[in-house]
Amino acid sequence: MNAFLPQALEKQWEWFDLCHPDWRFVAKHELHRKHGDVFAVISPGCLSVEVADAEVAAEIISRSRYDFVKPTWPYSLLNLFGDNVLSSGGATWRRHRKATASQFSNTIHKQAWTKSLVLGQELLSIWTNNHATVSTVANIAPDLEFLVLRVILSVGYGATAHLNYRTDVSGVPDTGRTSRFAAAMDQVLSNLTKLLMLPNRVLKHGPSHWQSVYESATDVRTFLEDLIWTETQKQKRNLTVAGDSQEANNVLSGLVRQGICSPKGENGREEQSHLSDEEVMGNIFILAFAGAVSTADSLKYSLVLMALHPDIQEWLIQDIEEAINSSGEDTTNPLEWKEETVLSRLVAPYCVMLETLRHYPPVTGINKSTGDKEQLVTFNGSLVLLAEDVNVNMSLTALHHNPKYWGKNALVYCPQNWDTRCACDWAESTSNAPEMSDTTAGTPHVRNPVKGSFLAFSDGARGCLGKRFAQVEFVAILTLIFRQYRVELAVRETESLEDVRRRTQMILDNSASTPTLSLQTPVPLQFMRRN
């Protein structure tokens, strides 16, 4: 808007930039460059503070949850299938967090690695017509979403089945109940905005597509109820035979088993530390939603960006080659790669994930509130008093593009900057930082940016539960693809390569939050089998 205004009026109309629904993604650090790394937005409805200073962001996130609370009302709509760790607060949240966080064990992560390779290989066979030399995929989005979802359903729910893509993709219809559930869950996640915004009675009696979404949500609820009941009976039988020493083999079984083994209080009743069946249902749905959507979007962005930057893709391929060849594993059969010997060697794929998340995080802001008390924070060496009921928003896209931490080329996509074996364009304080000491993927040679400057996984007590799960899944799938293929932008007969590159960059720039940040237009890609 400001581009069309006379210079004298431009400053008066700067507020108009904030009216864009994705203004943080569009503006990145630009508004903070004009107004400072911390500025206030005052409106009749509320007072908000926008933060692009890493020290302030780190302090707010690390402070007691009683100082800066996470407003739960925006997430209450996500209680589609029951209360969960994302939508709850206070003592209820602590109970949800304790129950869910303990389920992400090394066993679960190893299963995520193995299942990602198995299902990823099936997808590659479908995309490339059984590994043809050259294949074009018009839209990678729905298949990647389905792939990531199937990994989560298998490892998280124990709903094991082959990928068996929808009939219009593979030509092979699948009538198995697990696959019908996966298709229903896929439709629920793809149409989550409708389910969140429209009452069931409107969906049920609306247009045919709305009715289909309503029926899918009903099918998902029925399947989850049956799954929980079946798992409960199974766990009771197992406990009778083997006691409580067995380790849960998926997230659902762990949550159910936790409820069965809940300790007894003095009055003989179970202490309310476990989750009810409805809360188990709410959590396994929200874990599927958060995991499937964010990981699939990161993979979509990464494949497009690798096609857009062939020099970076070549660096990625060379690193994968060196990692696989030095692992001692069978280099010709990805299904034989072991997580414990291969994953820690895959530096470049992990760097690609981090850099993609720096530019395209699933959410563009982390919202906190001062609640009913005034709070003090430190900014530029001075204490600043924030009044009660002030919204404090950590702008991820502003933090992730702040030249103070990421250097003068902060807007440039460059995964090599994360690799300690490569030269770095970041600011001196960031580029000289030690390697990540808390890299949950177990990958060495990865730079650790200034605390608070990179928040794609959030941080603190309410940080991402499935961080390592997502890292393992992403690295496995990306490695699998580029170990066997190069990816290029598909060029139409009427276009030049430069035209396609410009169009692709425009599609990336026009990403929107629906509800997580994602591509709004498909980018056709060509898969070239490597020698």
Q: Do residue 329 and residue 421 come from a single domain?
A: no
Question: How far is it, in rounded angstroms, from Cα 477 to Cα 480?
Answer: 5
In a domain, 390, yes or no: no
Give SS3 for 372.
Answer: coil
Q: Does one domain contain both 437 and 466?
A: no
User: Does residue 483 fall inside a structural domain?
Assistant: no
Tens of pLDDT, residues 209-218: 999 999 999 9
Residue 221 in domain: yes
Q: Are 394 and 455 in contact (CB under 8 A)?
A: yes
Average the pLDDT over 480-494 and give the result.
94
Residues 275 and 170 in one domain: yes
Is residue 440, in this structure, part of any structural domain at all? yes
424 annotated to bind ligand = no
User: Does 480 reside within a domain?
Assistant: no
Return d(Cα 83, Cα 72) in angstroms, integer.
Answer: 11
Looking at the fold, whether 406 and 278 belong to one and the same domain comes out as no
Mark which of 453, 485, 520 sits at the end of a domain.
453
Q: With a cut of 50, say whether residue 169 has pLDDT above it.
A: no
The helix/strand/coil state of 366 is strand
Residue given tokens 């008066």 in the structure block: 12
Tell me the CATH number at 286: 1.10.630.10
Print the domain residue range for 203.
Answer: 100-128+139-263+270-298+310-351+462-472
Give dist(CA 456, CA 52) in Å, integer: 14
CB-CB contact of 474 with 468 (8 Å):
no
**Which residue do the tokens 């790394």 mark?**
37
Counting the structural domains of the chain, the total is: 2
Higher pLDDT, 90 or 123: 123
Quick check: 522 pLDDT over 60? yes
Note the helical H segments in 104-140. Answer: 106-127
Cα 346 to Cα 336, 423, 443: the distances in Å are 16, 18, 7
Same domain, 184 and 234: yes
Q: How far apart are CA 89 and CA 462, in angstroms?
A: 10
Helix/strand/coil for 230: helix
- Tell me how many helices (H) and strands (E) the chain has: 22, 11
Give the chain's largest Cα–Cα span: 80
Residue 528: what are its φ and ψ, rounded to 5°?
Answer: -110, 115
Shared-domain flag, residues 143 and 282: yes
User: How many whole angstroms separate alpha carbon 492 and alpha carbon 278?
Assistant: 50
Please indicate, yes or no, whether residues 199 and 343 belong to a single structural domain of this protein.
yes
Same domain for 201 and 218, yes or no, is yes
316 and 412 co-located in one domain:
no
- Relative orientation angle of helices 467-484 and 141-157, to the nearest 10 degrees: 130
Specify burial of residue 182 (Cβ count, 10 A radius: 0-12, 13-18, 19+): buried
Asked if the structure places residue 506 within a domain, the reply is no
Query: Residue 118: what residue type?
Result: V
- Indicate if 277 and 420 belong to the same structural domain: no
Whether 40 is covered by a domain: the verdict is no
The continuous run of DSSP H or E covering 8 comes out as helix 7-10
Q: What pLDDT digit, counting tens, does each position of 356-381 carry?
A: 999 999 999 999 999 889 999 999 99
Separation CA 285–CA 77 (nearest Å): 13
Interval 418-452: pLDDT, tens: 999 988 888 766 655 556 544 445 578 899 899 99
Q: Are residues 344 and 229 in the same domain?
A: yes
Residue at 48 is within a domain = no
Residues 340 and 411 in one domain: no
Q: Is residue 385's pLDDT more than 90? A: yes
